[in-house]
Structure 1
Amino acid sequence: MPRRHTAALTAAALTAALAVAVQPGPASAACNPDARDLRITYQPVDHTVADAQYHLARLTIDNNDKRCALDAAGWALYFNAVRQPGAVLGGTAGDTARKQLADQGLSVARADAAQSGDFYTLKPAAGFKPIGPGQHRDIAITFEVWAIHKSDAPAGWTIAYGDGKPSWVPAKTLLDPADPKQTTAWSGDKRPVETAGTRYAANTSPKLDLTLRQSIVPQPLSARASGGSVAIGGRSPVSAPDSLDGEAGYLRSALTDVASDKGAPITLAVDPKLDVDRDGKPDAEGYTLSTTKDGVKIVGTDKAGVLYGVQTLRQLIPAASYKAAAGRHRKATVDVPLAEIADAPLFGYRGLQIDTGRHFETKQTILKFLDLMSFTKLNRLHLGLTNDEGWRLQIPGLPELTDFGSQRAFDLKETGALHQGMGSVNDLGGGDGVSGKAKNETEANLGRAPAYQGFEQNTLNFVGKGSGYYTVKDFEEILRYAAERHIDVVPELNFPAHARAAVQSMERRYQRTQDSTYRLLDPADTSKHVSVQYYNDNLANPCLDSTYKFLSLVVSEVGKMYQRAGVPLNRLNLGGDEPPGPQENWWSGSPACKANPETAGKSGEELKELFFSRYNEIAHGVAASTAGWEDITNPTTKFRLKGFAPLPWQNVWGWGREDWAYRFANEGTPVILAHATNLYMDLAYNKDPDEPGYYWAAYVDEKSTFTYQPYDVYANATEDRWGNPITPNPSWTKLTPEGRKNILGLEAQLWAENGKAPGIREYQAFPKLLGAAERAWNRETPAPDKMDAAWKVFTNTLGQKTFPLLSFYRPVGLSGTGVNYRVPPPGAKIDGGTLSANVRDPGLALEYSTDGAKWLPYTGPVKVGAYALTRTRAADGRTSRISQVGLPAWESGTSYQPGALVRYQGELFRAARAGTGKVPGQDAGYWTLLQ
């Protein structure tokens, strides 16, 4: 983020940028509007009012109640916001924002008693005029920095009248991609908004005839088809030694899912000396797969290699067979090509991190991801179990961690749960203090069934598991399921920062029992600090013996879960990221730190090092090795930890940590690559306001992951996060040949701030994870000058082979089929009334419409007139978002006939009735929302 500078902004100047024009109707103090008859609409309207500091937004309150006014007093709206409202800030800017609201008879403040986090309240103040029945009010309000994606919008709106309980208020957000003031974050933002036209220019991959090797993701070292095929089925005889019972059982289950009858025999075997690349040494996790008329033979260097051979065999099964099975019409047998395949991985560590702290994911979702990881030959699940917003693992002996720390609710004093965060409490369920929530995801999506092919309004309306945890039994089942797929689960217990759920849980324990054995804070600490997420109380104290007693108990119980599951705990992640600033204030006001001879007089950095030395020692009591974020150690200092591997992540070009990974590796420290610019899958795919996700480091799509250069990350430094061209800094440390040996592997990251539903998680991960898997497994990373050709092959592989498989994919041992991968919207242009369209991944079908009602297959340039709608259709029938070409903006003075298409405030509409001056989205009955 650019350095913030002060600016004198008057309330009058801000308010003048947004007309607040609707006059209220007559007030009625006798009643209050039903919460569901209210609607909040948020729209960023101007990012130029304070370049790179604040943006001006329009917050519209619609009162659709037919009897009651929203009165001049006696109510409060509550919400979460990832961008702080200007009114909660200090200094001149805060004063200006507060006056701006006061001039409209309103005030905004933090809602919770602790004044910690992202929870706010909007209340009427002196001079507020009631909003009468059928009326609406536009409010000018400022928020920090920028909001150029719909997922930046405030979420989780409720209203409380008097001392009553809060009720859900439906909310939506608008953002017009055609308005530069809405989509340009600041003057340095040079990245264009993605449109049908920009996609058309970028979609340069021709449709290719794929070889067998090119049809598999990740690509094997070698694959040769010999012509012909062999039939296999669920009852094919499987010959394997007892040591491969698990792999044989997995194979039988996978085949039974798609074919019911007996086919050719299959043999599984292990050869510890298997040398796939013929360099004279065995290749760990390597395999050979041979399919002949006589049957199938898979030989692995080890058991994991055998399973990866099975996964490759699954990819050889035609997508049509998976489709038939998904439709409950399993074939008797399935044909796989006759072939010889040999394969082995580049890295031993091929990981995926799933954050369950910000939003919880059910055991079933985690199991599905584990099977998909195995399918793509990933072998490390880094499971984030703790964060500020939630503790997600039952720990015997510390029930408060889950009774309190795993729960989010409307609880301003946080007596029984953490306060509402990130727009989420207990999903759409009850027991969280919010009444009147939507009954299902469609109702929460304002009446439209969510497709999760982009932003959905229901993510503003309490779709998101703020509450939940894994029982001991759940976690042990996850461990066993992962082990069957040769995946190590790396649990993350994040300390000392991002520890609010734990810190506050132990405070509730102390308040209940007066027992300070596991207390994590010094109650007399006057230190002042604030985290990136605005928490001021999320830091465990390293000067307390009770902190280490807590960690010892938790780590010990986690170790016991692995023991009972019969699974080794090979690595434990210590967390350690994003300690709140400023550093000198971490524990400077703690009497406990001053009184403890071991900590007295130490700086914040020295206390952090002391903490991690002890935490690392505790972790090594149960785990063979440890890991943690780059923030724990620093290549510019001497502090290091035994048996520890850092995950360098904050390589944003120009921020100063671009070369930390290679500096660590060159000095001999083992490294797990987690570079945000290419591996953070929760970041938005591109600069389309309808793409959910953040963009603080970059935009990340499957091209970002596929073109990632593990040994030369600077080759990816072609532009900064705002689209400005850059060149690598010659002073950045380059990776040495010896340093290469210390790159353990890479890990794709799936953070959960915006991952509020399983469909969103899958949309964020696929196809990005496929690119990451390619770079983690495939030993032949194309050189930069060869990457474009490799990328064109990869897009064809996705469109022709992988996407159809994922459409009907069934995780082994689980119910349900299909993966909600992102279906890319088409590229398109109209020239002389002729529509031309293309798609990123050749093999996907395209459709077009001129009226929004009838869709036709697109097979080549076609006459359409001045405008058209386009979309992509996947093999399972799912479609991409609609991409419009040439669609006119709505005009108030134009008379529209039924069937007319317009765009308005970033949404697409079709006229249902004739009319003039009827506003889309406001005048009911005249317009139908298409998207």
Structure 2
Amino acid sequence: MIPRPELLSDLSGSFELASGATVAGPFADAVRRALPLLDLRPGDSGEIEVRQDPALGEESYRLTTGSRGVEIVAGGAAGAFYAAQSLHQLLPDASYRFSDRASWRVPGVRIEDSPRFAWRGLHLDVARHFSTKREVLRLIDLMAAHKLNRLHLHLVDDQGWRVESKAYPLLQEVSSHRPRTAVNYYREPEAYEDIPHGGYYSLDDLAEIGAYARSRFVTVVPEIDVPGHASAILAAYPELGATGERYDVLDRWGISPAILSPLPPTIEFLTTVFDEIIGALGEVPFFHIGGDEVVLDHWAQSAEITAYRDSLGLATSPDLQAWFLRALADALAERGARTVVWDEAFVAGGLRQDTVVMPWRGMGVGRRAAAAGHDVVATPVFPLYFDYAEAASADEPMAIGDTTTMADVAAFDPAPADWTEEERARVMGVQAQLWTERVPDPRTVDYRLWPRSCALAEVAWAGSGGDGFDERLREHLGRLDAMGVEYRPPAGPRPWQRRRPHRPSGVKVTDVMARIDGMTHDAESTRPSV
């Protein structure tokens, strides 16, 4: 079973669960949503009985199966849903396929289970390469099957804007597409595929995604990354930039100097967009505003922005960046959303105390954020950037770098033992990132995410990749096959999965991590106070 439960005991007896069986009790609808292919029916009593135990946590459950049927005891609807996902994994792989089979044997077991972390996330970059609504809905189903519960959608970057705006329609008309896309290897001369790329979610699409995710106990975390990574925005509304210069939607990768102005019209623009996104999604407890990889040169060179900074009593451009992000976080708080940022925003200083920090540059900066009283979601490049290759081999499809294996993910500890108890308590959870510069289509998304996301699910739910994970994964691959997931086979890619071959760089990702973790320490020494 993946992720592994806290306690699983074999019992004598078994039960034949038929398609069309009845389910009764509180949270019966949650159980039915978890097992759609079994076509369960509601009833006053049933083969699956559900009860609530208020002493259990919202996501906790007990599952007992045997000759008398199935009993689920849950703390809340989410717990009942996850109990049903565990029940599903007791059935044959064929139960994950649509068929007219009448019944499946359920072995006798008792499971007692609850999650280690509240935030069990996947990040999908839809700005660099767009994922359609149907692909996002499918990903939500796969997340739910693995008890993952946070979908972080990176909705804007230099290479595209991906959500409709009624107030600023040029965002979808201009910013949602680019005429060509870079296809060169990392740090090699630029080469392009001259095929337009684009797409965006209508507000109706976003509403559907939000509702679908909630029905599967997944929270959508939208990200509008500011003030940097702004080329696509400034292609439509150059007046929102620091220079007024019009940019093109970027067709290459890397960091751009494009930056939004911190002046009041930009804040008005962003809060309007926030309102549209929040209104469409319906419930947005967390909203990500980025704050990473910001090039501040144009702010320092602008007389108008410098005068505005001075009027606020701020000394430097980094101080102004901290003020700008704080103003946006205050606006989101008024709308009921907690702000989430990448770790550069923490290093810049001035965050609201309730801001959640994602330390992508390493757990060292994550520990400093936790020590400062911020909740943290562990997101380090190693081993949680799934755009890195799974082997340093030319058989792999092109990736940004070498090598992050499934074993690396399974061995990751989001709350390290050498942290203090107070620091560990600040770790809300863990999240893997799939940046899509070199992930051009849904089949490659599958290849990059799975089965590494199985290891992520184990770490997020159980706290670590436990004993027997490799053996359990071998069994689990049959379920992925039945669900149509084009995962990376343990022996390496199939011929058609190789696409443009990877060129191993020889640079170890652990060396990269050591370098960028050192950069966060250097930045900390010059951190402004706001």
Counterpart check, 1:265 vs 2:55: no
- 1:381 corresponding residue in structure 2: 151
Distance in 1 of aligned mates of 2:192 and 2:91: 41
Indicate conservation of the 8 Å contact 2:396/2:498, yes or no. no
Q: CA deviation at 1:712?
A: 2.4
Between 673-682 and 661-670, the greater mean CA deviation after superposition: 661-670
Distance in 1 of aligned mates of 2:69 and 2:314: 72
Pick closer, same or farther for the CA change 1:756–1:743 going to 2, 3 Å.
same
Match of 1:362 among 109, 121, 132: 132
Pick closer, same or farther for the CA change 1:470–1:574 going to 2, 3 Å.
same
Counterpart check, 1:291 vs 2:86: no
Pick closer, same or farther for the CA change 1:256–1:422 going to 2, 3 Å.
farther
- 1:772 corresponding residue in structure 2: 456
- 2:487 corresponding residue in structure 1: 821
Distance in 1 of aligned mates of 2:209 and 2:117: 24
Distance in 1 of aligned mates of 2:343 and 2:456: 20
Distance in 2 of aligned mates of 1:461 and 1:616: 38
Question: Alignment partner of 2:311: what SS?
Answer: coil
Provide the identity percentage.
29
Indicate conservation of the 8 Å contact 1:463/1:756, yes or no. no
- 1:218 corresponding residue in structure 2: 3
Counterpart check, 1:235 vs 2:20: yes
Indicate conservation of the 8 Å contact 2:58/2:77, yes or no. no
Indicate conservation of the 8 Å contact 1:354/1:381, yes or no. yes
- 2:355 corresponding residue in structure 1: 644
- 1:571 corresponding residue in structure 2: 286
| Unaligned runs of at least 5 residues, structure 1 | 1-215, 275-282, 410-419, 425-459, 508-515, 526-530, 652-657, 714-733, 810-817, 827-870, 873-877, 883-904, 907-931
Match of 1:246 among 26, 29, 34: 29
Amino acid at match of 2:181: G
Counterpart check, 1:347 vs 2:117: yes
Distance in 2 of aligned mates of 1:691 and 1:318: 31
Distance in 1 of aligned mates of 2:413 and 2:137: 30
Question: Alignment partner of 2:345: what SS?
Answer: coil
Distance in 1 of aligned mates of 2:203 and 2:192: 31
Counterpart check, 1:592 vs 2:342: no
After superposition, the C-alpha distances for 1:500-527 in whole angstroms (9 at most, x for unaligned) are: 11122113xxxxxxxx6xx3333389xx
Distance in 2 of aligned mates of 1:252 and 1:633: 42
Question: Alignment partner of 1:620: what SS?
Answer: helix
CA RMSD of aligned residues (A): 2.9
Q: CA deviation at 1:233?
A: 2.3
More helix by share: 2
Distance in 2 of aligned mates of 1:371 and 1:539: 36
Indicate conservation of the 8 Å contact 1:390/1:466, yes or no. no
Distance in 2 of aligned mates of 1:552 and 1:520: 16
Counterpart check, 1:616 vs 2:329: yes
Match of 2:410 among 682, 685, 706: 706
Distance in 1 of aligned mates of 2:37 and 2:245: 59
Indicate conservation of the 8 Å contact 1:463/1:757, yes or no. no
Pick closer, same or farther for the CA change 1:665–1:365 going to 2, 3 Å.
same
Distance in 2 of aligned mates of 1:605 and 1:819: 44
Q: CA deviation at 1:284?
A: 3.7
Amino acid at match of 1:421: T
Question: Alignment partner of 2:334: what SS?
Answer: coil
Counterpart check, 1:523 vs 2:523: no
- 1:756 corresponding residue in structure 2: 440
- 1:421 corresponding residue in structure 2: 181
After superposition, the C-alpha distances for 1:30-69 in whole angstroms (9 at most, x for unaligned) are: xxxxxxxxxxxxxxxxxxxxxxxxxxxxxxxxxxxxxxxx
| Unaligned runs of at least 5 residues, structure 2 | 185-190, 247-251, 505-530
After superposition, the C-alpha distances for 1:136-179 in whole angstroms (9 at most, x for unaligned) are: xxxxxxxxxxxxxxxxxxxxxxxxxxxxxxxxxxxxxxxxxxxx
Counterpart check, 1:742 vs 2:393: no
Q: CA deviation at 1:272?
A: 1.5
Match of 1:541 among 257, 261, 264: 261
Pick closer, same or farther for the CA change 1:247–1:461 going to 2, 3 Å.
farther
Question: Alignment partner of 1:665: what SS?
Answer: helix
Amino acid at match of 1:559: I
After superposition, the C-alpha distances for 1:734-764 in whole angstroms (9 at most, x for unaligned) are: 4111111101101111111111111100100
- 1:659 corresponding residue in structure 2: 364
- 2:232 corresponding residue in structure 1: 501
Indicate conservation of the 8 Å contact 1:532/1:578, yes or no. no
Amino acid at match of 1:547: T
Counterpart check, 1:371 vs 2:141: yes
Counterpart check, 1:803 vs 2:477: yes
Pick closer, same or farther for the CA change 1:422–1:246 going to 2, 3 Å.
farther
Q: CA deviation at 1:305?
A: 0.6
Indicate conservation of the 8 Å contact 1:465/1:756, yes or no. no
After superposition, the C-alpha distances for 1:684-743 in whole angstroms (9 at most, x for unaligned) are: 1110123235455x5112111101122228xxxxxxxxxxxxxxxxxxxx4111111101
Q: CA deviation at 1:314?
A: 1.1
Pick closer, same or farther for the CA change 1:802–1:462 going to 2, 3 Å.
farther
Pick closer, same or farther for the CA change 1:371–1:660 going to 2, 3 Å.
same
Q: CA deviation at 1:879?
A: 8.9
Distance in 1 of aligned mates of 2:83 and 2:31: 11
Indicate conservation of the 8 Å contact 1:360/1:465, yes or no. no
Q: CA deviation at 1:321?
A: 4.2
Question: Alignment partner of 1:588: what SS?
Answer: helix
Amino acid at match of 1:402: Q
Distance in 1 of aligned mates of 2:222 and 2:158: 16
Match of 1:332 among 85, 89, 102: 102
Distance in 2 of aligned mates of 1:880 and 1:753: 17
Indicate conservation of the 8 Å contact 1:359/1:464, yes or no. no
Amino acid at match of 1:550: F
Q: CA deviation at 1:331?
A: 1.2
Q: CA deviation at 1:265?
A: 0.8
Indicate conservation of the 8 Å contact 2:370/2:427, yes or no. yes
Amino acid at match of 1:663: R
Q: CA deviation at 1:387?
A: 0.7
After superposition, the C-alpha distances for 1:80-99 in whole angstroms (9 at most, x for unaligned) are: xxxxxxxxxxxxxxxxxxxx
Counterpart check, 1:551 vs 2:282: no
After superposition, the C-alpha distances for 1:341-376 in whole angstroms (9 at most, x for unaligned) are: 110000011111111000000011111110111111
Distance in 1 of aligned mates of 2:146 and 2:35: 19
Indicate conservation of the 8 Å contact 1:345/1:777, yes or no. yes
Question: Alignment partner of 1:494: what SS?
Answer: strand
Question: Alignment partner of 2:356: what SS?
Answer: strand
Indicate conservation of the 8 Å contact 1:264/1:294, yes or no. no
Counterpart check, 1:678 vs 2:383: yes
Q: CA deviation at 1:476?
A: 0.4
- 1:629 corresponding residue in structure 2: 342
Pick closer, same or farther for the CA change 1:251–1:351 going to 2, 3 Å.
closer
- 1:397 corresponding residue in structure 2: 167
Pick closer, same or farther for the CA change 1:504–1:220 going to 2, 3 Å.
same
Q: CA deviation at 1:640?
A: 2.7
- 1:102 corresponding residue in structure 2: none
Larger radius of gyration, structure 1 or 2?
1
The normalised TM-score by structure 2 is 0.85
Distance in 2 of aligned mates of 1:227 and 1:388: 59
Amino acid at match of 2:419: L
After superposition, the C-alpha distances for 1:519-549 in whole angstroms (9 at most, x for unaligned) are: 3333389xxxxx971523x21111x221111
Distance in 2 of aligned mates of 1:685 and 1:487: 27
Q: CA deviation at 1:591?
A: 2.2
- 1:310 corresponding residue in structure 2: 84
Amino acid at match of 1:477: E
Distance in 2 of aligned mates of 1:312 and 1:505: 48
Counterpart check, 1:256 vs 2:39: yes
Amino acid at match of 2:307: A
Q: CA deviation at 1:624?
A: 2.9
